[in-house]
């Protein structure tokens, strides 16, 4: 059993040449008792983006706050609070902040995706 609040969970600033203003929190995963998957919360600052990439596992997204964009397999998809997305395995994708404020979204991946 695990109960917490996102304000109480460690935030990690991600540093990579192909990303900007990305912060990650592990909300629930194996350390909290969910052995097979990991639920992460990403916060992208103004102008923030993750790298364009693909990987051999799927993930699902849920937008919590702000305006963003999901580039997936050559197409841009606008995202707003309440938007959901399924990104299949091996699909080229990128998430970016498209607004003036923080863009916050949850992303659930299989455990291998958080290795």
Q: CA neighbours within 13 Å on the CB side: how many for 40?
A: 21
Tens place of pLDDT per residue across the chain (115 aa): 999 999 999 999 999 999 999 999 999 999 999 999 999 999 999 999 999 999 999 999 999 999 999 999 999 999 999 999 999 999 999 999 999 999 999 999 999 999 7
Residue 27 to residues 18, 24, 95: CA-CA distances in angstroms? 24, 9, 19
Which residue is associated with the tokens 């923030």? 48
pLDDT of residue 115: 73
Domain 11-109 is of which CATH architecture? Sandwich (2.60)
Quote the longest CA-to-CA distance of the chain.
Answer: 41
Domain range annotation of the chain: 11-109
């Amino acid at each position: 059993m695990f109960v917490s609040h996102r304000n109480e969970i460690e935030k990690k600033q991600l540093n990579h040449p192909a990303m900007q203003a990305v912060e990650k929190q592990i909300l629930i995963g194996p350390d909290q008792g969910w052995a097979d998957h990991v639920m992460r919360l990403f916060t992208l600052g103004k102008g923030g983006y993750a790298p364009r990439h693909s990987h051999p596992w799927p993930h699902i997204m849920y937008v919590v706050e702000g305006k963003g964009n999901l580039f997936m397999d050559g197409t841009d998809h606008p995202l707003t609070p309440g938007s959901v997305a399924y990104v299949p395995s091996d699909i080229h994708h990128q998430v970016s902040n498209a607004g003036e404020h923080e863009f916050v979204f949850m992303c659930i991946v299989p455990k291998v995706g958080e290795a």
